[in-house]
Amino acid sequence: MERDFFQSAFNSLKGNSWLDGLFGLEKENIRVDKRGNMAQTLHPKVFGNKLKHPYITTDFSESQVEMITPPLPDIRQALGFLETIHDIVSLELTDEYLWPQSIPPILPDDELIPIAQYGEDGKADRQYREFLSQKYGAKNQMFSGIHFNFSFSDKLLQTLYSKMNPPLTFEEFKDVAYLKTVRQLLRMRWLYILLYGNSPVVDSTMTLQCKLAPYPIDHNVVALSIRNSCYGYQNIGELYPDYSSVINFKSSIDQMVREQKLVAPKELYTPVRPKFINGPDHISYIELRFIDIDPLTKAGITKEALHFLHAMCLYGLLSDEADVFEANAQSKANKYHGGVALYGLNTPPSVVDENGVQFNIWQKASTHIQEMMDLFQKLEIKNDDYLKSLLHSRYLVENPKKRNVFNVLEGILKIGYIPYHMKMAHDYLEESRLKDYNFIGLEDMELSTQILLREAIRRGVSFEILDRKENFIRLVKTGNIQYVKQATKTSLDNYASILAMENKLVTKKILAEHGLRVARGSEYTNAETAKSDFNLLQGQPVVVKPNQTNFGIGITILKENRDELTFQRAVDIAFEHDSTILIEEFIPGKEFRFFIIDNEVVGILHREPANVTGDGLKTIQELVEMKNQDPLRGKGYHTPLEKIQLGEAESLFLNAQHKHFDTVPEMGETIYLRENSNISTGGDSIDYTDDIPASYQRIALEAAKALNVRITGLDMMISEPAQEANDHNYAIIELNFNPAIHIHCHPFKGKDRKLNEKLMDALGYWL
């Protein structure tokens, strides 16, 4: 039936739907101190209960952090998720680092390696680890790695199933597909090790013993992948499960338990495992466990390696099986795997098969890779990531010395095993600090949402992205389900309050009724009427803006208001964004954003309008281009600061100052390109939370109560920020129903006010 399946697959389905699936990653890293000693401290308390945290737990040791991504529909997203967890863990450590290598750092004696603690609820987990320590040795348990969890999409398998119409249920058909893939991956896992193996040497505190040898050997072994060799962590004795069917597979493992070769099925450490999380009778996904941590990348694995693994899965499913995968075939596959792991640094290594025939392993690798490329072509799969991965694998076969393991060996040779890996660990920590705001793989989402999702990971709150474009997410933990859009649109505020904040005219009326000062002005629904009022407003500083707007869109500030054409254009710009506009008095002073959560001002920010400082040589345009090169500046709220624009609004504002984009400011002269200070228009964020008198905070809280809102960003003009508030030195401009939190978490100047944490508290996800 599988031979027919292989033929039918090519004839019945073409295109990139073959790439559909779910991808998950698990990575173990040992925590180390500054000298490369395994840390003896407890798992960071900030991550809570290890048994319940969906993303961050421990493996064998209390010092061995395990990071887990959920199943995701894209390899890049899964890799980014893993790297984001890595960043979050790294930044929570104090004087410690994540060891970037599968082979352990400096280890103490076995009895001093702290086994993971799980409290009363995790006694069985603790006891199992104690058993492993006794049977295999605690040091052997400290070998770390990456697991790649993969499942074909049900839609893909359903399509194949419907076209084949086999005499099986759909679930049985899935089992057949997964078991064939497992068998084929076990046969050719050596190919991945040959290209990406990267655990070449060990520290002197490790004692290596091959399970095939009766005595320990000197630790000065150099290999391609010690972790995957007979010196790595493996079961004692040869164990050969029956992969012919799910029933036979489970029965064969139960037999191993009865014969006391295993204490439980989970003790079977095969390099590829079928997993049964949706029920005991059918396979849910497969787990690839033979992946070394790559010290040359922070995440521990590259997208090229992951795409190659996925390509191997497809190749395994669709390629012919050479033989029945019984004990002899499994033994042969194990020898290939172990031989390449030990001797794969050689170029080229020769392998002798059971008939005494010698062949070149590199030629065999080249053949497999070409067949994989032919497979993708025949299936009409067109994807640059996979093509680049396969081309890169072919390049490595043709240029074996270009494999990453040789860069690692060169670094170790120069400065030593521990110093080399500690340097990499330190560099990765600095990388984590430099971009402690991005959720890698989700950079297209609004930055405030990315920051909130990072905090969800830290607190062990599961989340699902319901609409990526709209930044709409669902948060779940212990029965608490919250729906959140753009980080601050939540169920905490009622719809009427949100509509009131959205409508600036309504906001002003409500605030005025509560005795709070707002800017005086008029509303207009007709452009001609608004323009005709220039005669009444000429010479008076005014603000022209849409009634419903956000991010400073459509707002023009006319400080002098002497030019009628400029006034008319400002009216037109406002009407481009709403059918009702407001023309209000311009309130002098500085504008401050008060961020309020649950009747508490949790951050105050002054947003300095977009500006540049002259050097006497460059034009305003050149200065803007230079300032925009700051990596913290981007577009679309994906970075802490926005790029300064050179558009019509900026041109109008400069014209009012008798300047233009080609003007050359004097040395030290500050030129403002806008009056409004929104970060979205290139402004600079400066934290003032500790500097604004409490009287202004009380006014802000009264305004939030007046509109019955729990989360808002209130904008207030203050003429003398150092003075206490009175009836004349402030005015409330507006209340925002979806204020950005990232400007308070990552201000241009000042402290991180951790609004992501405060928001999660308000949603009921306490640490």
pLDDT in tens, 195-213: 999 999 999 888 777 755 4
Whether the CB-CB separation of 142 and 30 falls below 8 Å is answered with yes
Mean local confidence (pLDDT), 492-504: 92
At 569 the pLDDT is 94
Phi and psi at residue 360, to the nearest 5° = -90, 120
Residue type (1 letter), 375:
L
Whether the CB-CB separation of 267 and 256 falls below 8 Å is answered with no
pLDDT over 50 (residue 214): no
Question: Alpha-carbon distance 277 to 575, whole Å?
Answer: 57
Whether the CB-CB separation of 643 and 635 falls below 8 Å is answered with yes
Mean local confidence (pLDDT), 658-671: 95
At 355 the pLDDT is 53
Residue 339 neighbours by CB distance under 10 Å: 20
Mean local confidence (pLDDT), 718-740: 93
The tens digit of pLDDT for each residue in 563-599 reads 999 999 999 999 999 999 989 888 888 989 999 999 9
Tell me which residue of 664, 640, 649, 758 sits closest to 710, measured CA to CA. Answer: 758
Mean local confidence (pLDDT), 639-643: 89
pLDDT over 80 (residue 3): no
All residues at 6 or more sequence positions from 728 whose CB lies less than 8 Å from its CB, including other chains: 517
Mean local confidence (pLDDT), 33-53: 95
The tens digit of pLDDT for each residue in 73-115 reads 999 999 999 999 999 999 999 999 999 999 999 999 999 999 9
Mean local confidence (pLDDT), 279-290: 96
- The pLDDT confidence band at residue 215, using thresholds 50, 70 and 90, is very low
* 15 torsion bin: left (phi>0), alpha (psi -120 to 50), beta (else): left
CATH number of the 496-517+587-762 domain: 3.30.470.20
Question: Alpha-carbon distance 403 to 304, whole Å?
Answer: 13
Cis peptide, bond prior to residue 348, ω within 30 of zero: yes
Question: Alpha-carbon distance 462 to 216, whole Å?
Answer: 45
pLDDT over 80 (residue 642): yes
Residue 546 is classified by DSSP as: E
pLDDT over 50 (residue 600): yes
Unique residue bearing structure tokens 């389905």: 13
- The pLDDT confidence band at residue 217, using thresholds 50, 70 and 90, is very low
Tell me which residue of 59, 57, 44 sits closest to 94, measured CA to CA. Answer: 44
The tens digit of pLDDT for each residue in 686-728 reads 999 999 999 999 999 999 999 999 999 999 999 999 999 998 8
Question: Alpha-carbon distance 299 to 565, whole Å?
Answer: 57
Whether the CB-CB separation of 374 and 390 falls below 8 Å is answered with no
pTM: 0.90
Whether the CB-CB separation of 290 and 192 falls below 8 Å is answered with yes
Whether the CB-CB separation of 612 and 623 falls below 8 Å is answered with yes
Tell me which residue of 681, 658, 673, 660 sits closest to 562, measured CA to CA. Answer: 658
At 354 the pLDDT is 47
Q: Which of 16-30, 619-633, 697-711 has the lowest mean pLDDT?
A: 619-633
Mean local confidence (pLDDT), 148-177: 92
Tell me which residue of 83, 110, 132, 117 sits closest to 294, measured CA to CA. Answer: 83
The tens digit of pLDDT for each residue in 379-410 reads 999 999 999 999 999 999 999 999 999 999 99
All residues at 6 or more sequence positions from 414 whose CB lies less than 8 Å from its CB, including other chains: 420
Mean local confidence (pLDDT), 514-543: 91
- The pLDDT confidence band at residue 302, using thresholds 50, 70 and 90, is very high
The tens digit of pLDDT for each residue in 332-350 reads 899 889 889 988 888 766 6
Mean local confidence (pLDDT), 41-57: 95
| Mean predicted lDDT score pLDDT of the chain | 92
CATH number of the 520-586 domain: 3.30.1490.20
At 419 the pLDDT is 97
Higher per-residue confidence, 637 vs 227 = 227
pLDDT over 90 (residue 184): yes
Spans of all domains in the chain: 2-234+269-436, 496-517+587-762, 520-586
CATH number of the 2-234+269-436 domain: 3.30.590.20
Angle at 325 between CA 135 and CA 250, to 5 degrees: 55
Question: Alpha-carbon distance 387 to 586, whole Å?
Answer: 59
Tell me which residue of 704, 696, 698 sits closest to 731, measured CA to CA. Answer: 696
At 1 the pLDDT is 44
User: How do beta strands 633-634 and 350-352 pair?
Assistant: unpaired
pLDDT over 60 (residue 353): no
Mean local confidence (pLDDT), 126-150: 94
